[in-house]
Structure 1
């Protein structure tokens, strides 16, 4: 079963711009190591970090089909910082992996304990 694990972070405290180089490097090293462990276990499908909310836009099709954009929304309380798609045997395994990701180090090496939303990736129904 495939699951998407989405890392949600508060708009303020996770802003890595204010972190020391040592803290930032430790955080990135953790994320890279986490991806390597998932890959070696055969569980990693995809993983990406995302640009900050200051670069986000909401897009809708206008009446003529042309894109209409709205945003920037920097006042949001939380934003999606990144995600992993994993292929695991059970939801419990996805929850275990999400807890590991949640414990990524922040300033001073303390675990961030960020919220990781876990949702099953749905597949299309088999048509007769």
Structure 2
């Protein structure tokens, strides 16, 4: 088994894959989208492939060490950002091909008008332990 992160990117501006930004969806369209995500997670819980998932608020803060022992803090994300990290899901699957299959299915979540949004998902494997050399 291998763990993968499915990183959901919300595009605030219209894109070919999502012609209506989420902030212009009806309350029912938002509810339908969220229910699709819940149903998807429940299906993966039954197969043992679900690990965890969370939606993220659009607000955020950038923090870094300033070199003098104080955190440098900047509000973010910034208005010029075309997409935000909207949430994530962690899956534990038998193969990379299975991870691709599930990411494609998750990409079909409904959006405006109930049409699949064809959302781009970033698929990232978790780092594994380096191999141990034994003699």
Shorter-chain TM-score above 0.5: yes
**Hey, which bits of structure 1, 4+ residues long, moved more than 4 A?**
none
- Tell me what 2:128 maps to: 123
Whole-angstrom distance in 2 between the partners of 1:108 and 1:48: 24
Alpha-carbon offset, residue 15 of structure 1: 4.6
Q: Structure 1 15/57 Cα, relative in aligned 2: closer, same or farther at 3 Å?
A: farther
In the alignment, is residue 62 of structure 1 matched against residue 66 of structure 2? yes
Equivalent position SS for 1:5: strand
Whole-angstrom distance in 2 between the partners of 1:57 and 1:5: 22
Equivalent position SS for 1:125: coil
Offset from partner CA, 1:55-106 (integer Å, 9 cap, x none): 1222101223321112321220111111111100101100011001111000
Offset from partner CA, 1:23-45 (integer Å, 9 cap, x none): 11111110110110111110111
Counterparts of 1:35-74 in structure 2, within 5 Å, are 35-52=41-58, 55-72=59-76, 73-74=78-79
In the alignment, is residue 97 of structure 1 matched against residue 102 of structure 2? yes
The root-mean-square deviation of aligned C-alpha atoms, in Å, is 1.8
Whole-angstrom distance in 1 between the partners of 2:97 and 2:69: 42
Q: Structure 1 49/15 Cα, relative in aligned 2: closer, same or farther at 3 Å?
A: farther
**TM-score normalised over the length of structure 1:** 0.88
**TM-score normalised over the length of structure 2:** 0.84
Aligned residues: 126
Structure number with bigger Rg: 2
Query: Gaps spanning 5+ residues in structure 2: where?
Result: 15-19
Equivalent position SS for 2:4: strand
Whole-angstrom distance in 2 between the partners of 1:115 and 1:64: 39
2:28 to 22, 25, 32: 22
Equivalent position SS for 2:128: coil
- Tell me what 1:33 maps to: 39
